[in-house]
Amino acid sequence: MSAKPARPPLTYAEAGVDIDARKRFIQRIKPLAERTYRPEVLAGVGPFGGMFKLAGYREPVLVSSTDSVGTKVRIAALLGRYDTIGIDLVNQNVNDIITCGAEPLFFLDYIASSTLTADDKAALVEGAASACKDAGCALIGGETADMPDIYAEGDFDIVGFVVGAVERDEIIDGSTIKEGDALIGLPSNGLHTNGYSLVRRALGVGMGGDAGAERAVLEREHEELGHTLGEELLRTHRSYVAEVLKVRSRTKGVSHITGGGLIENIPRMLPDGFGARIDRSAWEVPPIFRLLQREGNLEDAETWRVFNMGIGLVLAVEAPEVDGVLASLGDAILVGEVTKQTTDDARVKIL
């Protein structure tokens, strides 16, 4: 019987994970993170755990959140453009904790893929670092996981985790909201990061079909948008941190309008027994939502139940505070009011 030929030694790199490349990548992104450091950072990228010294608070309450950008990553992968997704990731998360009045302190990210290049991953981290800098929070760590056989070629996921703090007596929890309080909206920057599973199906892109044909759809100019469809779908999620901190003391409740739109998210800040009346004529719905409705044959009620429809954040304030808050926030819009809810009422009525 002939002997089996000797098998060459197998390496981790041949299995799809290059340790040396990972070390080089960490050294490449470390300066990006260091630009975001606050004085409270004691250890950032490099050690097994980031360290942050909590200082300057009388009675601090920590507020945390974690989220991804969902299937928007399929659009980025299809176009080979990764510079905006890291921004989306940070802003999606910091907006969630600012609803409680919490100042973002530090952020961590997780990137998982099998074939992303070092340049692609660096673009993701650079976007995250830029958004962290704008939000005033430190990017102190994360994980970049190479996962061959788990992610298909070109696929990736990115997840973020943020921790913030607020003085206990400055927490915004919606508990004092009452009938007649005003609802003030801050415009969105388009779709933000929600509803992309419906978006992709409605437009026939990022569905795993012919990549060239799908890319052609994304690269086509749309007169009503003023740019390509791809540019519109990758517009970044707007951050509302600075705006909320500016009017925190005059704000009774904050709702981040994510998946579920105004209908599902406004009730999350309202006490039991209260609803909202929204005047849909108070602002102009951005063209992307009309395009989606037309191209995807979406019913009007479905678009309002899924998308933000042009309003990314809603504040509840006392009626006498309306003029001052509107003046402080520039592009804010009076969009409705808090109502008393009867048992058979929808909690949010779009009129």
> Tens of pLDDT along 175-202?
999 999 999 999 999 999 999 999 999 9
**Is the pLDDT score of 136 beyond 90?**
yes
What is the average pLDDT across 151-166?
94
d(Cα 80, Cα 48) in Å, to the nearest integer? 31
Query: pLDDT tens digits for 200-220?
Result: 999 999 998 899 999 999 999
**Is the pLDDT score of 27 beyond 90?**
no
Task: Mark out the alpha helices in 159-260 (DSSP H runs).
Answer: 196-203, 211-218, 229-233, 241-247
What is the average pLDDT across 13-35?
78
Q: Report the candidate in 262, 342, 242, 263 with the shortest Cα–Cα distance to residue 310.
A: 262
pLDDT bracket for residue 112 (50, 70, 90): very high
Question: pLDDT value at position 2?
Answer: 61
What token pair was written down for 278? Answer: 């929204």
Percent of the chain at pLDDT > 90 equals 78
Question: pLDDT value at position 51?
Answer: 86
Least confident of 53-62, 210-219, 342-351: 342-351
**Is the pLDDT score of 8 beyond 80?**
no
**Is the pLDDT score of 1 beyond 60?**
no
| Chain mean pLDDT for the chain | 92
What token pair was written down for 142? Answer: 């994360």
Query: pLDDT tens digits for 225-256?
Result: 999 999 999 999 999 999 999 999 999 999 99
What is the average pLDDT across 164-179?
97
d(Cα 159, Cα 176) in Å, to the nearest integer? 33
